Chain A
Amino acid sequence: MGTLLNSTDQAWCDDLLLRLRLLQVPGARIGEVLAEVQSHVAETGEPPREAFGTPREYADQVAQALGVTPVRGWAALRQGLRWRDLLLAVLIGVAGFSLADGLWSLGAGAATTAGLPTWLVCLGAALVLGACTARLVVSARHDPDADPVIDPRNGVDMVPFGRRQVVLLAALPVLALIGMAVGGLLSR
């Protein structure tokens, strides 16, 4: 959806999307609202901030017009959290730490890590981390509760979780892990 708006207008729309999500406006309706803004901006040449106010104000107005009761702060956070997600976060944390520790040892030439063979720690942690990443990607793409933001004009998901997003999700941790192995090597 980025081609029609300049970067300031796009940032305004992204902020609006986030705030409508936080107010738990249904995805299909968010798609309508974003398409209306794009259409209006193209028609008038007015910047969105001038025509619609701040994203926060406009999101509140939309929620009010729809009769959606805003859920804010702690209650909203608790509603969105599931045990499965918490477990996944803990698993990723433990596996990430173990893999980083294992790679450092591997670089430094230590045969054991925390009493286990280093290669085994690395392999196990990498497998768990890979599985968790796959689970994240699958749930982002196929979660039945996902409620995607659908463009009413062409039925396309307006915030797709595509290859670029997966690369972004994986690249930083992978770089950091390579850094650990290099750090271990340098410590010899």
Chain B
Amino acid sequence: MRGVLSLCVLRVVADGPTYGYAIAGRLADAGLGSVKGGTLYPILTRLETDGLVTSSWAAGNGGPGRKFFSLTPTGAQALRERAEQWHVFTERAAGLLSRPVVPS
């Protein structure tokens, strides 16, 4: 499931520069449950080291600042490919699961 979560994070970042807490909020709104910081930031770190997203710090008002993530062209391509793969996989899985059980 970690791979799918990474794909979902990539999809959220595709909507424009956003930061950790807001990403967690979007995932929760999408019904994916509350994703802890301990899970979310390593995913973002990996996406960044893979060159799929870039990050930059912006000063917060009085707070410790926010790290904004944005999609790179490589990230956009990876998102298309992985989303496609995920659709194919879920369709096949759904096809298998929806077959009536026939005891042999």
- Do B64 and A65 have beta carbons less than 8 Å apart? no
Task: Tell me the bound Cα distance from A39 to B66 in angstroms.
Answer: 6
Task: Tell me the bound Cα distance from A43 to B20 in angstroms.
Answer: 9
The listed residue (B42, B49, B64) touching A38 by CB distance below 8 A is B64
| Interface stretch of the complex, out of A56-64, A82-90, A94-102, A112-120 | A56-64
Chain A residues within an 8 Å CB radius of B86: none
- Do B37 and A46 have beta carbons less than 8 Å apart? yes
- Inter-chain contact count A-B, CB under 8 Å? 72
B8 touches A (CB below 8 Å): no
- In A22-54, the 8 Å CB interface with B consists of 32-33, 35-40, 42-44, 46, 50-53
Chain A residues within an 8 Å CB radius of B64: 4, 35, 38-39, 42, 153
Closest residue of chain B to A46 (Cβ to Cβ) is: B37
Chain A residues bordering chain B, tally (CB within 8 A): 27
Chain B residues within an 8 Å CB radius of A66: 45-46, 49
Interface string of A126-140 (1 = CB under 8 A from B): 000000000000000
B60 → chain A closest CB, angstroms:
8
- Do B46 and A65 have beta carbons less than 8 Å apart? yes
- Do B43 and A40 have beta carbons less than 8 Å apart? no
- Do A37 and B42 have beta carbons less than 8 Å apart? no
A65-B46, A66-B49, A152-B57 in contact; A43/B41 too (CB < 8 A)? no
Chain A residues within an 8 Å CB radius of B26: none
B36 touches A (CB below 8 Å): yes
- Do A40 and B49 have beta carbons less than 8 Å apart? no
Chain B residues within an 8 Å CB radius of A53: 36, 38
Chain B residues within an 8 Å CB radius of A65: 42-43, 45-46, 49
How many of chain B's residues touch chain A, expressed as a range? Answer: 20 to 34
Minimum-distance CB pairs A-B, first 9: A65-B42, A51-B37, A52-B38, A43-B21, A38-B64, A65-B46, A65-B45, A40-B37, A61-B42
- Do A153 and B59 have beta carbons less than 8 Å apart? yes
A162 touches B (CB below 8 Å): no
Chain A residues within an 8 Å CB radius of B57: 35, 152-153
25 contacts between A and B (CB under 8 A): A32-B67, A33-B41, A37-B37, A38-B64, A39-B19, A39-B63, A39-B66, A40-B20, A40-B41, A43-B20, A43-B21, A43-B63, A44-B21, A44-B37, A46-B37, A51-B38, A52-B36, A61-B38, A61-B42, A64-B42, A65-B42, A65-B43, A65-B45, A65-B49, A66-B46
Which of B38, B59, B64 is most buried by chain A, counting CB atoms within 10 A of its CB? B64
